[in-house]
Copies of this chain bind each other. A is one copy, B any other.
Amino acid sequence: MEVILGISNRHVHLKEEDYKVLFGNIEMEKVKDLVQVGQFASNLTVDIETPKSKISKVRVLGPLRSYTQVELSKTDCYTLGLDAPVRTSGNLDGAEMVTIIGPNGRVTKPCAIIANRHLHINHEERIKLGLLNVEKISIEVGVQKRAILHDVYIKETPDGVLELHLDTDDGNANLLKTGDMAKLII
């Protein structure tokens, strides 16, 4: 069984309150639809700052969410001097403190995580693939630098589109690009 890969670069999700601090009256526009229904890359970017360093032009994804979250790679964390935890999106338990800087203001809060490897899926497909009682799976990836990646979490949502999300560290380590295929090992 093969699924398509999406390699996620560092990005930011915002809740409305923080959006207003960062962007004021500037409107968020859709630049590109993502594979997951309703999710999109916006026209907006922010800078992410820590006492050690700063990463500029980090893309804001839309739409707004109920939480503000900065998703970084481990490589980004070294740049910024952070020890962010590996988490499922939305779980900010132990998230690292960063300052998000927009054109209108700045927000400082513990919201930086490393997103775990995860498989987007909906309930019907989860049943079809026999993954109902499975929390995580492994995948086979790569051509020239091949690997079996464990600890790939199942992320079921009502309108989930079958797609395997890895961050840029996993992507670059195994020479993978968005659109490449991964073999599920169930």
Contact = CB atoms under 8 A, between A and B. Distances in A.
Nearest to A174: B173
A150 interface: yes
Nearest to A146: B150
A52 interface: no
A174 B174 CA distance: 11
A144 interface: yes
Interface residues of A, number: 24
Nearest to A144: B86
A64 interface: no
A36 interface: no
B86 A172 contact: no
A147 interface: yes
A86 B172 CA distance: 12
B147 A147 contact: yes
B173 A172 contact: yes
A142 B117 CA distance: 14
Given A86-B175, A173-B172, A148 B148 contact: yes
A13 interface: no
A74 interface: yes
A47 interface: no
Contacts of A172: 73-75, 78, 169, 173
A21 interface: no
Interface string A142-186: 101111111100000000000000011110111100000000000
- Nearest 9 A-B pairs (CB), nearest first? A173-B173, A74-B172, A169-B173, A146-B150, A148-B148, A169-B172, A170-B173, A75-B172, A147-B149
